[in-house]
């Protein structure tokens, strides 16, 4: 008689970081890596730009949470879900017209929708939230509700403004109402491959979190994006595709080992003192 393999506990990966730092690039590549290993993956775009799914949809516009709120879709789980040929299932919040409504509300509404469908959500091996990093309202932290026992990862470049946002995100995870949230670590997505890296290790240590990996700036990632693909689909043997595979395993190791920790963030004054002492602005 065939022995049924025990199902691995599912993991919820929540990515935050400063605007433009590479959250969507990292989250869509992590999703592609897990799907390539045969995992059931749900990628959740929490950004009015609705661009989390573009590398999987060949230019098609997926249905969004906003469509559902406007009554254009039923509230069935499948109505909001788009299955893609890569094996990654996607959902997008979409977003209101500029200057109208609130992006964070869209994120909170998506999370509420997932809670209405616990069985379907739990059927995924991996769920990845790609969340706007501008933590301007409580809605942006709604995905932390799914983070119990799972992890927040911060995406940051080596630049001061990006590190500032990373410190702010660590502060957000320490607020009393987010006591379930822990930080799995920082994923550095470098602007310059020749940038000094010593201060990045020092920064992570100061925050009390680990460095999960560093993604290098790579033309292949941009070429893939231009074709509406991930680097895995565009150039499977590339250094970029390999690098994301290594990163995906590192993220999973942290999620499964529960090595995530309560961060020890800095105050704003401490942060700028850190920047000065490491001469980060002039690196």
Ligand X SMILES: Nc1ncnc2c1ncn2[C@@H]1O[C@H](COP(=O)(O)OP(=O)(O)OP(=O)(O)O)[C@@H](O)[C@H]1O
Residues interacting with ligand X, by CB under 6 A?
Answer: 17, 19-25, 47, 189, 215, 217-218, 221-222, 225
Distances (CA, A) of 8 to 11, 40, 114: 9, 11, 20
Contacts of 76 (CB under 8 A, 6+ apart): none
**Is 4 one of the catalytic residues?**
no
Pick the closer one to Mg ion by CB: 55 or 199: 55
Among candidates 114, 155, 115, 149, which has minimal Cα distance to 131? 155
Q: What is the DSSP letter of 261?
A: B
Among 40, 49, 51, 262, the active-site one is 49
Give least dist CB 86 to Mg ion, A. 18
| Residue 243 binding result from ligand X, Mg ion, none, given CB thresholds of 5 to 8 Å by partner type | none
Give the number of other Cβ atoms within 10 Å of residue 3's Cβ.
5
What angle, rounded to 10 degrees, do the helices at 219-226 and 239-257 form? 100
| Residue 189 binding result from ligand X, Mg ion, none, given CB thresholds of 5 to 8 Å by partner type | ligand X
State the number of binding residues for Mg ion (CB under 5 A): 2
Write down how long the chain is: 283
Pick the closer one to ligand X by CB: 21 or 255: 21
Q: Which tokens go with 152?
A: 């927040």
**Is 18 one of the catalytic residues?**
yes
Pick the closer one to Mg ion by CB: 230 or 271: 230
Pick the closer one to Mg ion by CB: 24 or 82: 24
| Residue 21 binding result from Mg ion, ligand X, none, given CB thresholds of 5 to 8 Å by partner type | ligand X
C-alpha dihedral (20, 173, 207, 149), degrees to nearest 10: -100
Give least dist CB 134 to ligand X, A. 8
Give least dist CB 188 to ligand X, A. 10
Among 12, 16, 21, 24, binds Mg ion (CB under 5 A): 24
Among 23, 89, 130, 218, the active-site one is 23
Report the C-alpha gap between 28 and 17 in whole angstroms. 15
Among 40, 67, 134, 262, the active-site one is 134
Is residue 157 within the footprint of Mg ion (CB under 5 A)? Answer: no
Report the C-alpha gap between 52 and 29 in whole angstroms. 10
Is residue 53 within the footprint of Mg ion (CB under 5 A)? Answer: no
Under 8 Å between Cβ of 43 and 12: no
Catalytic amino acids? 18, 23, 49, 134
């Amino acid at each position: 008689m065939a022995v049924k393999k025990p199902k691995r506990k599912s993991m919820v990966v929540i990515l935050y970081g400063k605007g433009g730092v590479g959250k969507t690039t990292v989250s869509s590549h992590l999703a592609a890596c897990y799907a390539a290993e045969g995992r059931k993956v749900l990628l959740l775009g929490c950004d009015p730009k609705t661009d989390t799914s573009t590398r999987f949809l060949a230019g098609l516009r997926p249905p969004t949470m906003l469509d559902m709120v406007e009554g254009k879709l039923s509230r069935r789980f499948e109505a909001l879900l788009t299955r893609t040929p890569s094996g990654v299932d996607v959902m997008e919040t979409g977003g209101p017209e500029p200057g109208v409504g609130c992006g964070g509300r869209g994120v909170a509404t998506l999370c509420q929708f997932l809670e209405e469908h616990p069985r379907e959500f739990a059927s995924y091996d991996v769920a990845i939230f790609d969340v706007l990093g501008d933590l301007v309202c409580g809605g942006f932290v709604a995905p932390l509700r799914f983070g119990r026992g799972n992890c927040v990862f911060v995406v940051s470049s080596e630049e001061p403004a990006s590190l500032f946002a990373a410190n702010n995100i660590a502060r957000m995870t320490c607020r009393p109402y987010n006591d379930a949230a822990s930080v799995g670590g920082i994923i550095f997505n470098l602007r310059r491959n020749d940038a000094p890296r010593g201060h990045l290790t020092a920064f992570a240590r100061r925050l009390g979190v680990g460095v999960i990996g560093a993604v290098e700036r790579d033309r292949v990632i941009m070429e893939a994006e231009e074709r509406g693909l991930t680097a895995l689909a565009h150039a499977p043997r590339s250094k970029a595709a390999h690098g994301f595979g290594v990163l995906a395993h590192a993220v999973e190791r942290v999620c499964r080992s529960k090595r995530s920790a309560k961060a020890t963030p800095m105050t704003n004054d401490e942060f700028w003192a850190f920047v000065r002492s490491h001469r980060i602005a002039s690196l």
